[in-house]
Structure 1
Amino acid sequence: MTFPDGVTTRPLTIPRTMDAADAGEFAESTRVRNEIYREITGSDHDALSPDELLPHYQPSPEEIRHSWIVLDDDRIIGRIGVDVPFEEGSRSAFWLIELLSAHHGRGIGSAAYALVEQTARDQGRTVLQSWAQHPDAPGRRLSAPTGFGSIPEDHAARFYLRHGYTLEQIERESALDLQASVDDVARLLHEAEAAATGYRVVQWTAPTPPERVDGYAWMKSRMSTDTPAGALEFDEEVWDAARVARHDRKTLDGGRTMLVTAAQHIASGDLVAFNELTIGSDRTAVSHQEDTLVLAEHRGHRLGLLVKCAGLRTWRAEVAPLSPRMITYNAEENRPMLDINEAIGFAPLAYNGAWKKVLS
């Protein structure tokens, strides 16, 4: 598959900092990225500044990130990315194709996908996985094999199906009104504290303090194995102090703040549940809830509710009191976490499809 006349690709220039002389291309590609997501979602919830995005494109021992820009007569109209994790025995590659809607229907996406698949094959990867948001629309729908949720068979879904992908899971994006939820959060936190006897809340903002690194690293490693994934394939990740430091550095170098709220088992001193909340340098912008996990052996004590509500209380009081909304993502079959979110006041905002193809 070749690109249409006038359309070309080239590797994205990754500057060392956004003050570098070669940073202009990265800044423009980020602007186009944000415009594409605004076209899809009708909002700026997914927008990132070049400073926030750049740390995630620096060299990493965890993965190699292949990135290209798509140009039409030297104007950036999209991006292509293939991430190849370095976990031992990994078969997977994760990819994205982002294209301004004015350029749909020209064969650019299919040409870009040929580059994605060839890159995965060159890296010895046979399991390709990708995510896309599918705004609700009338017409034919596709159901997830997990038995939870459906999406419209829209432009993006037809693209995946045409290229041999299967829909494996649906992910719910939810939003919480941070101002309206204060009383509910306080009430639910009181209930969770009463149920979580033998546990206490500990909190920190990145960077992770030395005494919390080992416990945090272990919980982060469990995120790759202990959350619902349907038939998607995720490698078991190995986290140590160095990886935690790199994770924290990406947050701080991007000018973002991350609050981690954890539950500590008092008798053993172990950290057994955690929740992450983040925001960029603009504390009046939308906030994001990232990883949340309760270790399997400590479930049944309302620790998920505990760390989420304790985090939200501190967030409103001390970190970002003027942030209007909190955005989070959960697998549609992850009913325990969705029950907690819905009790707090999170409401469905959109749905993403998780797509997979196994190469022959």
Structure 2
Amino acid sequence: MEITKLSPDDEAGCIDAVGIKNAVLAQDCPEMVPSTPRGFANMLRYGWDLEPGHAFLARDADGTAVGVLNVDVNLYDNTNQVWIDVDVHPDHHGRGIGSALVERAEAFTRELGRDTIGYGCLDLPADDEFARAHGFEQKAIEVNRRQDLSTLDWDVVQRMYDEAVAASTGYELTMLTGALPGDLLEPMVELTGSINDAPKDDLDLEDDVFSPERLRAYEEAQAKSDHTIYRVIAREKATGALAGHTVIAVERERPHLGEQHDTAVARAHRGHRLGALVKSAMLLWLREAEPQLARVDTWNAESNNHMIGINEKLNYQIVTRTLAYQKTI
């Protein structure tokens, strides 16, 4: 078996990697959104915010792709860490391929001068056993929920919006597509940082560090990955201060799919139902702007009760639970 680093320009290699990942999902959680070769390559080129991902492909002696390792490397914060995913094709379990990929991840982490590896997997007994056998300690539980817009009760959305408007008369909404205008860039840095108040559970993580450059990098990476960014921002009328926001990205390759990227309310402005306001306003907007949009996926820590409560009122249903682990090498 040979493990080689995968280039985003290796079209055949990206197809093989996605084939492995989707075969695993088909067996373990077919409800999850499958990868596409184009989307996989874009993550290796651009990442979330110009933090390109890394991938390693394991092949048998005859060239058959049997396993794939993904490594995300933070550049803005938590620079002692990497996060990995390990997938082995179901037809090739029990041959030590997963263990070899973890060893490659450890070697790559050391090459980068880092000492902590995070690992995520589905909440399945075999996956948990694999993680613990390789020295990982469970630190958090995350839940993937999905909103099916075809079964969404729009009367509920409208009622949530109307009630939130009544509770937030000191605020107004701004709706934006794509890049932020220059005058909002600095204020959005502070507001985006409010996401650090979301639960981290027992994960050893520093707060995310945001800057104008990082926000621009996020916009550029999403645009180059063919995602359209929609933002709804709540602003305090009296001061002009940005108080809360939500962001959804819609794929252009699969425009029926959207992903919730961020929702946060600044501490000084909590208690005015701004989270419900921006999320319900976003849905009403997207119903007109993206009529083909059918599903929106979101991820939350299982302990994030406040946001989960809003999501469940908006018809988000659980797709799967995932476990997050860490270890020091």
Quote the residue 2:89 is aligned against: 100
2:155 equivalent to 1:183 = yes
Q: How many residues align?
A: 326
**1:284/1:105 CA distance change after superposition, 3 Å:** same
2:300 equivalent to 1:330 = yes
Deviation at 1:88, TM superposition (A): 5.8
Question: Once structures 1 and 2 are overlaid, which stretch shifts more, 48-57 or 108-117?
Answer: 48-57
**1:215/1:161 CA distance change after superposition, 3 Å:** same
- Contact 2:265/2:274 (8 A) holds in 1: yes
Question: Once structures 1 and 2 are overlaid, which stretch shifts more, 74-83 or 336-345?
Answer: 74-83
Quote the residue 1:144 is aligned against: none
Quote the residue 2:313 is aligned against: 343
Structure ranking higher on relative contact order (CA contacts 8 Å, 6+ apart): 2
SS of match in other structure, 2:176: strand
Deviations 1:301-327 (A, max 9, x none): 1111111111111111212x2322222
Moved over 6 A (4+): 59-62
2:55 equivalent to 1:67 = yes
Q: In 2, distance between residues paired with 1:120 and 1:283?
A: 34
2:201 equivalent to 1:213 = no
Q: TM-score, normalised by structure 2?
A: 0.91
Quote the residue 1:14 is aligned against: 8
Q: In 2, distance between residues paired with 1:339 and 1:89?
A: 30
Q: In 2, distance between residues paired with 1:251 and 1:66?
A: 17
Q: In 1, distance between residues paired with 2:236 and 2:23?
A: 45
Deviation at 1:192, TM superposition (A): 0.7
Aligned residue runs from structure 1 range 39-58, under 5 A: 39-43=27-31, 45-58=32-45
Deviation at 1:354, TM superposition (A): 1.0
Q: In 2, distance between residues paired with 1:67 and 1:126?
A: 19
- Contact 2:67/2:98 (8 A) holds in 1: no
Gaps of 5+ in 1: 1-6, 16-21, 135-151
The structure with the largest helix share of the pair is: 2
Aligned residue runs from structure 1 range 228-243, under 5 A: 228-243=199-214
Question: Once structures 1 and 2 are overlaid, which stretch shifts more, 156-165 or 210-219?
Answer: 210-219
- Matched AA of 1:227: A
- Matched AA of 1:25: G
2:278 equivalent to 1:307 = yes
1:255 to 221, 226, 230: 226
Q: In 2, distance between residues paired with 1:287 and 1:64?
A: 21
Quote the residue 1:273 is aligned against: 244
Deviation at 1:126, TM superposition (A): 2.4
Q: In 1, distance between residues paired with 2:318 and 2:221?
A: 29
1:121 to 110, 122, 128: 110
Gaps of 5+ in 2: none
How big is the alpha-carbon RMSD for the aligned residues of Structure 1 and Structure 2? Answer: 2.2
Q: In 2, distance between residues paired with 1:176 and 1:162?
A: 35
Deviation at 1:111, TM superposition (A): 1.1
